[in-house]
Chain A
Amino acid sequence: MELLMASGIGVLTFAGIYLVLRLRTFPVIIGTSLLSYAVNVFLFSTGRLVVNQPPILRDGVESYTDPLPQALVLTAIVISFGMTAVIVMIALNAFLSADDDHVDDQPHGAFDVQRKQRGATMGSDLPAGDAEDEVRA
Chain B
Amino acid sequence: MSLFLIVALPFLGALLPGLMIQAGRRICGMATLAVTLTALVGLLSHLPAVARGEVVQARLPWLPDLGLNANFFLDGLGMMFACLILGIGALIIIYARYYLERSDNMGEFFTYLLLFQGAMVGIVLCDNILMLLIFWELTSLASFLLIGYWKHLPEGRQGARMALAVTGMGGLAMIGGMLLLGQIVGSYDLTAILENREAIQASPMYLPALILILLGCFTKSAQFPFHFWLPHAMAAPTPVSAYLHSATMVKAGIFLMARMWPVLSGTEAWFAIVTTAGLITMVLGALIAIFKNDLKALLAFSTVSHLGLITMLLGTGTPYGAMAAVFHIINHATFKAALFMSAGIIDHEAHTRHIPALGGLRKLMPITFVFATIASLSMAGIPFFNGFLSKEMMLEEAAHTTLFDTPWLAPVLATIGALLSAAYSFRYISHVFLGPVRDDYPHKPHDPGFGMWGPPAFLTVLVVVIGVAPFLAEPAVRLVTSAVLGNAGELPGGHLAIWHGVTPALKMSGIAVLGGLLILLAWHPLSRAWEATPRPEAKTIFDGVIRGSAGAAGWLTQRLHDGSLTRYALIFMVAVVALGAHAWFTGTATAPNRELIPLEPLPAAGWLLLVTAAVFLVFIHRNRLLALVMMGVIGLMVSIAFNYLSAPDLALTQISVEVVTIILMLLALNFLPNTTPVESGWPRRIRDGIVALAGGIAAAGLTYTILVQNPVMEPISGYHLENAYKGGGGHNVVNVILVDIRGFDTFGEIIVLGIAALIIYALTEALLRGPVRARLIKRRPDQPRSGDAHPLMMVVVTRVMLPVMLMVGLYIFLRGHNEPGGGFIAGLVVAIAVVVQYMASGFAWADERIRYPYHGIIGSGVFVAGLTGIGAWFAGAPFLTSAFGYFRIPPMEEFELATAMAFDLGVFLAVVGAVMLSLHSFSRIARLADMPVNEHAMDIDPSREMPQSHPSEGRTEGGT
Binding site for B on A (CB under 8 A): 1-30, 33-34, 37-38, 40-42, 44-58, 64-68, 70-71, 73-75, 77-86, 88-93, 95-97, 101, 103-105, 122, 124-125, 137
Q: Does B104 contact A (CB under 8 A)?
A: no
* Cβ contact within 8 Å between B672 and A27: no
Chain A contacts for B627, CB-based, 8 A: 26-27, 30
Docked complex: B536-581 residues within 8 A CB-CB of A: 554, 558, 562-567, 569-570, 573
A20/B569 in contact, CB under 8 A: yes
Chain B residues near A122 (CB, 8 Å)? 771, 774-775
Decide: A23 and B703 in contact? CB cutoff 8 A: no
Verify if B680 is at the interface (C-beta below 8 Å from A). yes
Bound CA span A33–B188, Å: 47
Cα distance A74–B750 in the bound complex, in angstroms: 12
Contact A37:B565 (CB < 8 A) given known A42-B699, A74-B824:
no
- Contact residue among A1, A12, A86 (Cβ-Cβ distance under 8 Å from B759): A86
B820:A54 contact, CB within 8 angstroms: yes
Enumerate chain A residues within 8 angstroms of B573, measured Cβ to Cβ: 17, 20-21
- Among residues 688 to 743 in chain B, which have CB atoms less than 8 Å away from a CB atom of chain A? 688-689, 691-693, 695-704, 706-708, 710-711, 715-717, 720-721, 724-725, 731-734, 737-738, 742
Q: How far is the CA of A34 from the CA of B242 in the complex (A)?
A: 64
| A27 and chain B: residue at smallest CB distance | B621
Contact A45 B697 (CB under 8 A): no
Instruction: Name the CB-closest residue of B to A42.
Output: B703
Give bound CA distance, A84 to B680, whole Å.
Answer: 25
Judged by a CB distance under 8 angstroms, whether B645 is at the interface is yes
B671 lies within 8 A of A95 (CB): yes
Contact A68 B737, CB 8 Å, known A5-B707, A96-B775: yes
- Contacts A14-B693, A17-B692, A42-B699 known; A82 to B738 CB distance under 8 Å? no
In the complex, whether B189 has a CB less than 8 A from a CB of chain A is no
Chain A residues with CB under 8 Å of B752's CB are: 79, 82
Q: How far is the CA of A80 from the CA of B652 in the complex (A)?
A: 15
The interface residues of chain A lying within 8 Å CB-to-CB of B565 are: 28, 103-104
Beta-carbon contacts under 8 Å, B849-897 to A: none
Inter-subunit contact B757/A82 (CB<8 Å): yes
Q: State how many angstroms separate the Cβ of A83 from the closest Cβ of chain B.
A: 6
B737 contacts across to A, CB distance below 8 A: 67-68, 71
Check A4 against B707 for contact (C-beta < 8 Å): no
B240 shortest CB reach to chain A, Å: 31
Q: Is B514 an interface residue when CB atoms closer than 8 A count as contact?
A: no
Contacts A5-B703, A17-B573, A88-B665 given; does A70 touch B638 at CB 8 Å = no
Question: Cα distance A91–B645 when bound, in Å?
Answer: 35
How far, in whole Å, are A11 and B695 apart by their CA atoms in the complex? 9
16 contacts between A and B (CB under 8 A): A2-B707, A13-B696, A15-B692, A20-B573, A23-B679, A29-B665, A30-B617, A30-B627, A54-B648, A56-B819, A74-B824, A77-B650, A78-B828, A82-B753, A85-B760, A122-B774
Shortest B636–chain A CB gap in Å is 11
Asked if residues B721 and A64 are in contact (CB atoms below 8 Å), the reply is: yes
Measured between beta carbons, the chain B residues less than 8 angstroms from A81 are 657, 660-661, 664, 915
Q: Is B34 in the interface zone, CB < 8 Å from A?
A: no
Complex-state Cα separation, A91 to B767, whole angstroms? 12
From 140 to 183 in chain B, residues with beta carbon under 8 angstroms from any chain A beta carbon are none
* With known contacts A77-B653, A137-B558, A84–B772 Cβ distance under 8 A: no
Closest residue of A by beta carbon distance from B634 = A37
Please tell me if the beta carbons of B564 and A105 are within 8 angstroms of each other in the complex. Answer: yes
Contact of B646 among A1, A28, A54, A92 (CB under 8 A): A54
User: How many Å lie between the Cα of A24 and that of B627 in the bound state?
Assistant: 14
Pick the contact of A104 from B563, B610, B668, B760 — CB < 8 Å? B563
Asked if B734 and A71 make an inter-chain contact with CB atoms under 8 angstroms apart, the answer reads yes
A78 contact set on B, CB distance < 8 A: 653, 657, 749, 753, 824, 828, 911
Q: Which of B603, B610, B764, B915 contacts A11 (CB 8 A)?
A: B610
Question: In the complex, what residues of A have CB within 8 A of residue B704's CB?
Answer: 2-3, 6
Contact indicator A9/B703 (Cβ below 8 Å): yes
Chain A CB within 8 A of B137 CB = no
**Contact call B707/A48, Cβ cutoff below 8 A:** yes
The answer to whether B911 and A137 have CB atoms under 8 Å apart is no
Judging by beta carbons under 8 Å apart, are B569 and A21 in contact?
yes
Residues in A neighbouring B828, C-beta threshold 8 A: 78
Count of B interface residues, CB-CB < 8 Å: 124
Q: Is B654 an interface residue (CB 8 A)?
A: yes
Interface string of B648-684 (1 = CB under 8 A from A): 1110011001001100110011011100110110000
The reply to whether A51 and B676 contact each other, CB–CB distance below 8 Å, is no
Pick the residue among B679, B733, B753, B921 that contacts A79 (CB under 8 A). B753
* Most chain B Cβ neighbours within 10 Å, of A21, A64, A86, A95: A21
Contact B596 A1 (CB under 8 A): yes
Query: Given that A8-B607, A21-B692, A104-B566 are contacting pairs, would A55 and B732 also be in contact in the complex, using a CB cutoff of 8 Å?
Result: yes
Q: A67-B737, A91-B672 are in contact. Are A104 and B564 (CB under 8 A)?
A: yes
Known: A33-B661, A68-B717, A82-B757. A13 touches B699 (CB 8 A): yes
A90 to B565, CA, bound (A): 14
B574 to chain A, nearest CB (A): 10
Chain B residues, Cβ within 8 Å of A97: 767, 770-772
The docked-state distance in angstroms from the alpha carbon of A83 to that of B702 is 26
Partner of B614, one of A12, A25, A101: A12
CA distance A2 to B673 in the complex (A): 40
B615 at the interface (CB under 8 A from A): yes
Q: What CA separation (Å) do A85 and B645 show in the bound complex?
A: 28
Q: Report the bound CA distance from A48 to B654 in whole Å.
A: 19
Q: Does B293 contact A (CB under 8 A)?
A: no
Q: How far is the CA of A26 from the CA of B717 in the complex (A)?
A: 39
A88 to B756, CA, bound (A): 12
Question: CB-CB < 8 A to A79: which residues of B?
Answer: 749, 752-753, 756
B671 A92 Cβ-Cβ under 8 A:
yes
A67→B734 contact, CB < 8 A: yes
In the complex, are the beta carbons of A4 and B599 less than 8 A apart?
yes
Contacts of A82 in B (CB 8 A): 752-753, 756-757, 914, 918
Question: Would A21 and B566 count as touching, CB distance under 8 A?
Answer: yes
Asked, given contacts A11-B614, A11-B615, A15-B618, whether A88 binds B692 with beta carbons under 8 Å apart, the answer is no
5 smallest A-B Cβ distances: which pairs?
A: A10-B700, A105-B563, A14-B696, A125-B771, A82-B756
Which of B631, B649, B752 gathers the greatest number of chain A CB atoms within 10 Å?
A: B649
Contact B770 A74, beta carbon cutoff 8 Å: no
Other-chain residue from B566, B732, B760 in contact with A86 (beta carbon distance below 8 A): B760
Asked whether A56 and B818 contact (CB < 8 A) given A34-B634, A97-B767, the answer is: yes
Question: Which A residues are in CB contact (< 8 Å) with B562?
Answer: 105
| Residues of the A chain whose Cβ atoms lie less than 8 Å from the Cβ of B911 | 78
- Give the contacts of B915-930 with A (CB-CB under 8 A): 915, 918, 921-922, 925
With A26-B673, A89-B922 known, 14 other A-B pairs at CB within 8 A are A1-B600, A4-B607, A5-B707, A6-B704, A8-B610, A17-B688, A18-B689, A26-B676, A44-B645, A51-B646, A54-B646, A74-B653, A75-B745, A82-B914
Is the CB–CB distance between B691 and A22 below 8 Å?
Answer: no
Q: Beyond A17-B695, A37-B634, A104-B564, is A55–B925 a contact (Cβ under 8 Å)?
A: no
Q: Is B526 an interface residue (CB 8 A)?
A: no
Contact B653 A45 (CB under 8 A): no
CA distance A35 to B708 in the complex (A): 23
Complex partner residue of B671 from A14, A23, A96, CB under 8 angstroms? A96
Give A73's nearest chain B residue, CB to CB.
B650
Compute how far the CA of A26 lies from the CA of B671 in the bound complex, rounded to whole angstroms. 11
Q: Does B441 contact A (CB under 8 A)?
A: no
CB pair A85–B610 under 8 Å, yes or no, is: no
Cα(A33)–Cα(B782), bound, Å? 26
Q: Mark B761-779, 1 if CB is under 8 A from A, else 0.
A: 0011011001110111000
Alpha-carbon gap, A39 to B810, bound state (A): 30
Closest residue to A37 on the B side, CB-wise?
Answer: B638
Given contacts A11-B615, A70-B734, A95-B672, whether A6 and B749 have CB atoms under 8 Å apart is no
Q: Is B597 located at the chain interface by the 8 A CB criterion?
A: yes
Given contacts A4-B607, A75-B745, A79-B749, contact A70 B649 (CB under 8 A): yes
